Amino acid sequence: MPETVLLPKPETRTGRPRLFKVILLNDDFTPRDFVVKVLKAVFRMTEGEALGVMLTAHRKGACVVAVYTQEVAETKARQATDMGARAGYPLAFTTEKEG
Ligand code: TYC
């Protein structure tokens, strides 16, 4: 019987992981101070950082919040979107592959 050769899993890779942007989308209903609260809680932003990101999304329609590995980006986007939904707001965060 030939020996079984265990090959490394395809996802066992070295090198740089793919990065994903978390993007905040504007809406007409979520209060500004609630958006700031979510950004501080989920993305560990200061008040000033959160205000800047919120205002950019408010004025331009969307703003990049931060960049993470795929799993972290998707988890944070879901947690932040869930915070809005639990409070009855349509606040939405999406993710997008970098580059
Ligand atoms: N546009 C909202 C308002 O005027 C505030 C807001 C800003 C909502 C940014 C979402 O991503 C957002 N109350």
* Cα 70 to ligand 1 centroid, rounded to whole Å: 25
Ligand 1 residue neighbourhood (C-beta within 6 Å): 24-28, 30-32, 35, 54, 57-58, 91
Q: Give the fold, CATH level 3, of 30-97.
A: Ribosomal Protein L30; Chain: A, (3.30.1390)
ipTM, interface predicted TM-score of the complex:
0.99
pLDDT for position 9: 63
Q: Which pTM value belongs to this model?
A: 0.87
Q: What are the residue boundaries of the structural domains of the chain, listed by start?
A: 30-97
Residue 10 has pLDDT above 90, yes or no: no
* Cα 97 to ligand 1 centroid, rounded to whole Å: 24
pLDDT in tens, 46-96: 999 999 999 999 999 999 999 999 999 999 999 999 999 999 999 999 999
The protein residue with its alpha carbon nearest to ligand 1, atom 5, reads 32
The protein residue with its alpha carbon nearest to ligand 1, atom 2, reads 28
pLDDT for position 36: 99
Q: In angstroms, how far is CA 40 from the centroid of its own chain?
A: 13
pLDDT for position 99: 81
